[in-house]
């Protein structure tokens, strides 16, 4: 053997020995159920993962260790653990896991939600804060929110006295708000989306809504292939196939949207002014000073993120709020008394009125506590080995914060299963993730960047629906008959949409808007 070869092998052997000697002989993992071979603890996760995990945390404690297939998973479900993960030690928990949803539905992790920690994500976050969701930008789009709120009121008024599926009207309103802000116009009015007609790609308004719902659902499913990689090619649940289908639909649609916007930019030349978020993203993509170039797929990933996130959260929260109020009619009375006192019966609620409507704001917050948009905050991944609350957390561990469990903790909330908006008047807690017992939009640097838009739409829409209409249940149905089951995705919408009847509450001339 040549001398340098022997020296090289000896060096490698010493390095391997040093690694073994440095490795701790025992790893003090958080408590948790014993995993099965191959599947780990996946047998304990039912069709509503947030409820399954909630039961496991109640049994094993505020920080638990699970095995999903071959993957280590740690769940935090207390204020103290959530604060450590989301704030104190967030640099180690700021990564996102690699999932099939991220790969197939977000242009290879080029969106805001699933992009990995690094220069690209830091730039994306900065663009959200300083450009897309700045106070000035949100103010410039207020006329859109007002117009769509007016359309919602008109749609409800036009169907007063008949049973309506409230979710349908709410999703149309929120989809129109976000599509006009992001894409420049409504893609639900008039039956067919205008984008793509030149290339024969036509998307109906109904299909556009279904695409958004499917995208949001698939980004929250428990896909077996994510946890047992060698089984991924089989796609046992059919989720990956659905992801590819909806991704292709969105890509054709967004390509046409971008072509339409680029055509307007060319036509207007030096006089071009960005009118919506896609215009702004295309301008940023041409900016040579960006640290990381924003490619075309990145523009589409951003736009898709904004469309899906901005639609589902407001629709779901308002529907749950009306549902909870129908179960407790005395709360309707408190809400309308506040509205009549502050607003009167001769005008509609404006966004600037919301600070003077603490009870309406409390209803919105209480709804988000009991029915969080993200019951299991978007998962994170550890960058390196660390310790949390005395337990060892290995690198590359999936980390979940259960806002569902925190929102139901009897040590934090009196009668936590009761819908009681007054608790948010007695204890003023904001939605910005600064109080870790209430995390409707997450917390820290990875929290939802569009929370300011979400809360504006939720509060003002809810206020106007309560101000303008008396809500009743259809037929002989009583409040005890209301179904409260949910389904699981990234969010927890009602399993069976609420069917309700509206009657005018204001003078009839108020509806001539």
Write the pLDDT tens digit of every residue in 241-297. Answer: 999 999 999 999 999 999 999 999 999 998 899 999 999 999 999 999 998 999 999
* 25 vs 362, residue with greater confidence: 362
194/180 Cα distance (integer angstroms): 13
Angle of the 358-370 helix axis to the 296-327 helix axis, nearest 10: 100
Question: pLDDT at position 322, please?
Answer: 97
Mean pLDDT calculated for residue range 398-423? 97
44-53, 98-107, 216-225: least confident range: 216-225
Mean pLDDT calculated for residue range 290-306? 92
125-129, 316-320, 326-330, 497-501: least confident range: 125-129
Question: pLDDT at position 195, please?
Answer: 45
Q: Which of 45, 86, 64 is nearest to 226 (CA)?
A: 45
Question: pLDDT at position 79, please?
Answer: 97
Considering the domain boundaries, does residue 239 fall inside one?
A: yes
Mean pLDDT calculated for residue range 470-496? 91
Integer CA distances (angstroms), 249 to 204, 243, 310, 312, in order: 12, 10, 19, 19
Integer CA distances (angstroms), 1 to 6, 7, 8, 9, 10, in order: 7, 10, 11, 11, 12
Mean pLDDT calculated for residue range 424-429? 88
The pTM of this model reads 0.90
Reduced to 3 states (helix: H, G, I; strand: E, B; else coil), residue 387 is strand
Q: Which two tokens stand for residue 258?
A: 């971008």
125-139, 193-207, 286-300, 489-503: least confident range: 193-207
Instruction: Indicate whether 197 pLDDT > 70.
Output: no
Q: Which residues pair with 381 in a beta bridge?
A: 95, 398
Instruction: Indicate whether 207 pLDDT > 80.
Output: yes
Reduced to 3 states (helix: H, G, I; strand: E, B; else coil), residue 109 is coil
179/311 Cα distance (integer angstroms): 9
27/73 Cα distance (integer angstroms): 15
Mean pLDDT calculated for residue range 404-420? 97
- Domain that residue 230 falls in: 96-320+454-511
pLDDT digit string, tens, across residues 49-93? 999 999 999 999 999 999 999 999 999 999 999 999 999 999 999
183-192, 239-248, 324-333: least confident range: 183-192
Q: How sure is the predictor about 313, in pLDDT bands with cuts at 50, 70 and 90?
A: confident
| Count of Cβ atoms closer than 10 Å to residue 493 Cβ | 22
Contact 465, 350 (CB under 8 A): no
62/56 Cα distance (integer angstroms): 10
Question: pLDDT at position 5, please?
Answer: 40
Phi, psi torsion values for 303, nearest 5 degrees: -60, -40
Considering the domain boundaries, does residue 251 fall inside one?
A: yes
Considering the domain boundaries, does residue 350 fall inside one?
A: no
Q: How sure is the predictor about 1, in pLDDT bands with cuts at 50, 70 and 90?
A: very low
Phi, psi torsion values for 40, nearest 5 degrees: 65, -125
269/40 Cα distance (integer angstroms): 59
Integer CA distances (angstroms), 349 to 94, 95, 139, in order: 39, 41, 16
300/297 Cα distance (integer angstroms): 5
Considering the domain boundaries, does residue 180 fall inside one?
A: yes
Question: pLDDT at position 512, please?
Answer: 80
Question: pLDDT at position 308, please?
Answer: 83
Question: pLDDT at position 25, please?
Answer: 53
Q: How sure is the predictor about 205, in pLDDT bands with cuts at 50, 70 and 90?
A: confident
Considering the domain boundaries, does residue 440 fall inside one?
A: no
Which residue is listed with tokens 């992790």?
109
Q: Which residues pair with 163 in a beta bridge?
A: 501
Instruction: Indicate whether 357 pLDDT > 90.
Output: yes
CATH of the domain at 476: 1.10.630.10
| Count of Cβ atoms closer than 10 Å to residue 395 Cβ | 12
Q: Which two tokens stand for residue 121?
A: 């994500």
16-20, 169-173, 266-270, 499-503: least confident range: 16-20
Instruction: Indicate whether 192 pLDDT > 60.
Output: no
Contact 47, 372 (CB under 8 A): no
448/460 Cα distance (integer angstroms): 20
Considering the domain boundaries, does residue 181 fall inside one?
A: yes
Residues 6+ apart with CB under 8 A from 4: none
Considering the domain boundaries, does residue 337 fall inside one?
A: no
Question: pLDDT at position 219, please?
Answer: 86
Question: pLDDT at position 12, please?
Answer: 43
Q: Where are the alpha helices (DSSP H) in 203-328?
A: 205-218, 224-227, 239-268, 277-285, 296-327
Question: pLDDT at position 266, please?
Answer: 92
Integer CA distances (angstroms), 8 to 5, 20, 267, 385, in order: 5, 19, 65, 29
Average pLDDT, the chain: 90
* 13 vs 441, residue with greater confidence: 441
Mean pLDDT calculated for residue range 346-367? 97
Considering the domain boundaries, does residue 459 fall inside one?
A: yes
- DSSP annotation string for 18-79: HHHHHS-SS--PPP-PPPBTTTBTGGG--SSHHHHHHHHHHHH-SEEEEEETTEEEEEE-SH
Contact 66, 30 (CB under 8 A): no
What's the total number of domains in the chain? 1
Mean pLDDT calculated for residue range 201-224? 81
Mean pLDDT calculated for residue range 438-445? 94
Which residue is listed with tokens 């407001």?
314
Contact 108, 89 (CB under 8 A): no
């Amino acid at each position: 053997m040549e001398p340098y070869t022997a020296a090289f092998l000896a060096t490698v052997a010493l390095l391997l020995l040093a690694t073994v000697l440095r490795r701790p002989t025992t790893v003090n993992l958080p408590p948790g159920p014993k995993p099965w071979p191959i599947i780990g603890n996946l047998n304990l996760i039912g069709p509503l993962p947030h409820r399954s995990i909630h039961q496991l945390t109640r049994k094993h404690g505020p920080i638990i260790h699970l095995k999903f297939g071959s993957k280590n998973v740690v769940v935090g479900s207390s204020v103290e653990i959530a604060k450590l993960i989301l704030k104190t030690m967030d640099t180690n928990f700021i990564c996102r896991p690699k999932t099939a949803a991220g790969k197939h539905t977000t242009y290879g992790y080029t969106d805001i939600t699933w992009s990995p920690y690094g220069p690209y994500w830091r730039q994306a976050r900065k663009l959200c804060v300083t450009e897309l969701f700045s106070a000035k930008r949100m103010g410039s789009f207020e006329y859109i929110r007002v117009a769509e709120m007016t359309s919602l009121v008109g749609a409800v008024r036009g169907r007063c006295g008949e049973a309506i599926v409230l979710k349908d009207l709410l999703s149309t309103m929120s989809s129109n708000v976000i599509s006009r802000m992001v894409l420049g116009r409504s893609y639900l009015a008039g039956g067919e989306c205008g984008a793509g007609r030149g290339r024969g790609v036509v998307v109906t308004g109904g299909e556009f809504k279904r695409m958004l719902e499917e995208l949001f659902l698939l980004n929250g499913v428990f896909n077996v292939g994510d946890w047992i990689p060698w089984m991924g090619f089989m796609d046992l649940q059919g989720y990956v196939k659905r992801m590819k289908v909806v991704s292709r639909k969105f890509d054709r649609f967004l390509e046409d949207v971008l072509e339409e916007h680029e055509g307007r930019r060319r036509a207007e030349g030096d006089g071009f002014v960005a009118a919506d978020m896609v215009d702004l993203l295309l301008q940023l993509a041409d900016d040579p000073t960006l640290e990381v170039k924003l490619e075309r797929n990145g523009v589409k990933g951003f736009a898709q993120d904004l469309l899906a996130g901005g639609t589902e959260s407001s629709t779901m929260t308002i529907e749950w709020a009306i549902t909870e109020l129908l179960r407790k009619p005395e709360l309707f009375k408190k809400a309308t008394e506040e509205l009549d006192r502050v607003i009167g019966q001769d005008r509609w609620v404006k966004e600037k009125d919301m600070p003077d409507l603490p009870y309406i704001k409390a209803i919105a917050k209480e709804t988000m506590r009991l029915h969080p948009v993200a019951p299991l905050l978007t998962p994170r991944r550890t960058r390196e080995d660390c310790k949390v609350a005395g337990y060892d957390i290995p690198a590359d561990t999936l980390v979940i914060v259960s806002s569902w469990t925190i929102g139901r903790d009897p040590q934090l909330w009196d009668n936590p299963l009761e819908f009681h908006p007054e608790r948010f008047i007695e204890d003023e807690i904001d939605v910005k993730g600064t109080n870790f017992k209430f995390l409707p939009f997450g917390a820290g640097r990875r929290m939802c960047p569009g929370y300011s838009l979400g809360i504006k739409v939720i509060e003002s829409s809810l206020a106007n629906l309560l101000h303008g209409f008396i809500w009743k249940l259809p037929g002989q149905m009583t409040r005890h008959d209301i179904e409260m089951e949910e389904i699981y995705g990234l969010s927890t919408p009602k399993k069976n949409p609420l069917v309700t009847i509206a009657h005018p509450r204001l003078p009839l001339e108020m509806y001539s808007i």
